[in-house]
Structure 1
């Protein structure tokens, strides 16, 4: 194994943690519930990403249950001096933050060779710009599908910027990548990734502590509680400020007015000891009688090329967060659909039809058995 390759001992050391990292992890910067939540977020998102990687490489991909711990960049830099490939992934919608994925150089070479259709994997060669470009595109699709899973978890649209790849060490990364700058605590989520008989390695995800806590709080419902508390505090502060600036009398005579009677009257106000005349009257709106006879006979071909997303729903269910946190490989989730019951079909989220599942060659399909009446007459 040459100098730019990571040994198994070294990757185990950095991903499983030294004694110093374990001691730091005991500082309880985040609680066990938050750690479990982050682990489950990583498990779901990386599980989806693994499915995408399997499709791209045409290989079976397995990612194990994640391990979550707290560390710092300085500790990682001191223990991990061999170059690796860092993929910088920034969220541009739904979440405000970024994270870094760390891969071994040899794993990136193997992924590139498989994508290029090479029969043999050459790990002795130097890492090239083609490798970095290839892994960036792979991560773009993997993390894109991961963002889709996160959208379902957080119940809002989440999207990412195109990932950027670097061949660096942690020491070099502190100068180039914002997340790696400074020595603030950082959350490390490590996975074991197996790709066919090509890759059996460890990858890790680095997330700034504040961003990690924000994601955990959103999923656990703490963000709404904090926003509500902040809003109550702001209202209380505003009331106190008003009470300090004005003396409120309990006996203020109020003369009832009739706007209908006084609509043509002129109201005089005194502003800064100067009289200003203000005219008050009802607004006048244009009236429309009858329906317009104007019609349009344009061909429907004008909109015929607009894409519409068709979705077939197998079923639904509701679970508590506590139950979801207990999920793992092999967990069976019971849906609300019975065997043989028609499936719902949606066009851009609108319910339009029902159908039954069929198999076309190696793919699933759905045969429409009923069109919804409201859709036909709309």
Structure 2
């Protein structure tokens, strides 16, 4: 009988590892912490790039520190109210984790999101607008991190839109995050985060132990599967039926694969602290250049129809105000009488003009072309 592992034996080995992992207790070992740290390291590296572009600031997120807490230790670990962003995985992985930020950091990020400088006076309570801003920032960050995680684990991963709220672990934690209360033990992954010269703080992940083990097992199974694919070699077609040779390299490959199925050892030299230096891309401006010539092949698109819209003005109303509309209601717009109207082509403003009457129809006379350099 051949000593090479068949595909059925490899599949059985993978299933056996998965079953033994699911039946074991939920103890987080040092090896699990290494794997979780590596997952967080790569995911947050991508998220830092996204946040840097959103805020137009240099963002650094360092290598994480992984620890395990009990549920009753959370109020002591987080004594003041924090802002939590709840992320629910609904495809590929089944679980939830929590991003935790300090309230002051959220106020600065929200101000930067809304075009401010980030140098603000802190308030006692966060407004709905600030929570919406941080929710959008975290939505972008978590989305890019999930994409990295999907590539890392070779899984299709889908998440629900993140939900942001203020949490006090001594008062309303059980109500806000019942998933963590059920887990009893929680894995804390803490990253140091700096944003320009405005923030030097921490961003933390809280992960239920069962979900943390699910991440570890997915990482190990993906690693083992890749190793099995590399080591699997078909039998030579000229080898006689019923006989088998045992080359030394096949025996070595078998031992190496079985060893890799028993444990996953991250490379120790990669545990040194890694800092991601991220800064926004600076693009060259063409606004001051002379108007460029039309491309020689522009005739190819001259017959493409475009929708032209003339916008008299805009305004915003609350739902209650819109429900009060009736015949004869007057809506005040954001433009003064006689002010030029906007001329849009496929939704983009390209010119301004004045309203005229042609026979019995309305028309618009163009009075100004907006940014002629960028019309192409």
Which band: TM-score by shorter chain? 0.5 to 0.7
Match of 1:344 in 2: none
Alignment of 1:354-365 (within 5 A): 361=284
Unaligned runs of 5+ in 1: 1-26, 226-319, 332-359, 363-378
> CA contact under 8 A between 1:74 and 1:183: conserved in structure 2?
no
Match of 2:71 among 51, 70, 73: 73
Match of 2:187 in 1: 187
Match of 2:212 in 1: 212
- In the TM superposition, residue 73 of structure 1 has moved relative to its aligned partner by 2.3
Distance 2:107 2:90 in 1: 29
- In the TM superposition, residue 178 of structure 1 has moved relative to its aligned partner by 2.3
> CA contact under 8 A between 1:49 and 1:146: conserved in structure 2?
yes
Which structure carries more relative contact order (alpha carbon 8 Å, separation 6+)?
Answer: 2
SS at match of 2:210: helix
Give the 3 Å change call, closer, same or farther, for CA 321–142 of structure 1 in structure 2.
farther
- In the TM superposition, residue 78 of structure 1 has moved relative to its aligned partner by 3.4
> CA contact under 8 A between 2:108 and 2:118: conserved in structure 1?
no
Give the 3 Å change call, closer, same or farther, for CA 168–42 of structure 1 in structure 2.
same
Number of aligned residues: 215
TM-score normalised to structure 1 length = 0.52
TM-score normalised to structure 2 length = 0.53
Match of 2:51 in 1: 53
Distance 1:220 1:83 in 2: 36
Give the 3 Å change call, closer, same or farther, for CA 95–37 of structure 1 in structure 2.
same
- In the TM superposition, residue 321 of structure 1 has moved relative to its aligned partner by 7.2
Distance 2:150 2:268 in 1: 16
1:80-126 per-position Cα deviation (integer Å, ceiling 9, x unaligned): 33111010011121111110010000000000111111235224223
Would you say 1:164 and 2:163 are equivalent positions? yes
Distance 1:330 1:180 in 2: 29
> CA contact under 8 A between 2:60 and 2:194: conserved in structure 1?
yes
Give the 3 Å change call, closer, same or farther, for CA 128–199 of structure 1 in structure 2.
same
Match of 1:317 in 2: none
SS at match of 2:270: coil
1:172-194 per-position Cα deviation (integer Å, ceiling 9, x unaligned): 12112223324611100001100
Distance 1:322 1:182 in 2: 30
Match of 2:42 among 41, 44, 59: 44
Match of 1:104 in 2: 102
> CA contact under 8 A between 1:95 and 1:158: conserved in structure 2?
yes
Which of structure 1's runs of 4+ aligned residues deviate more than 4 A?
A: 222-225, 327-331
Distance 1:217 1:183 in 2: 18
Distance 1:202 1:330 in 2: 15
Distance 1:325 1:157 in 2: 30
Match of 2:131 in 1: 132
Distance 1:329 1:78 in 2: 27
Distance 2:70 2:274 in 1: 34
Aligned-CA RMSD value: 2.9
Match of 1:173 in 2: 173
Give the 3 Å change call, closer, same or farther, for CA 139–91 of structure 1 in structure 2.
same
Unaligned runs of 5+ in 2: 1-24, 226-263, 276-282, 286-376
> CA contact under 8 A between 1:99 and 1:206: conserved in structure 2?
yes
Give the 3 Å change call, closer, same or farther, for CA 213–223 of structure 1 in structure 2.
farther
Give the 3 Å change call, closer, same or farther, for CA 59–216 of structure 1 in structure 2.
same
Q: Give the stretch that moved more between structures: 114-123 or 47-56.
A: 114-123
Give the 3 Å change call, closer, same or farther, for CA 322–36 of structure 1 in structure 2.
closer
Match of 1:87 in 2: 85
- In the TM superposition, residue 224 of structure 1 has moved relative to its aligned partner by 8.3
Distance 1:120 1:149 in 2: 29
Distance 2:143 2:41 in 1: 15
Alignment of 1:325-340 (within 5 A): 326=270
> CA contact under 8 A between 2:154 and 2:222: conserved in structure 1?
no
1:233-289 per-position Cα deviation (integer Å, ceiling 9, x unaligned): xxxxxxxxxxxxxxxxxxxxxxxxxxxxxxxxxxxxxxxxxxxxxxxxxxxxxxxxx
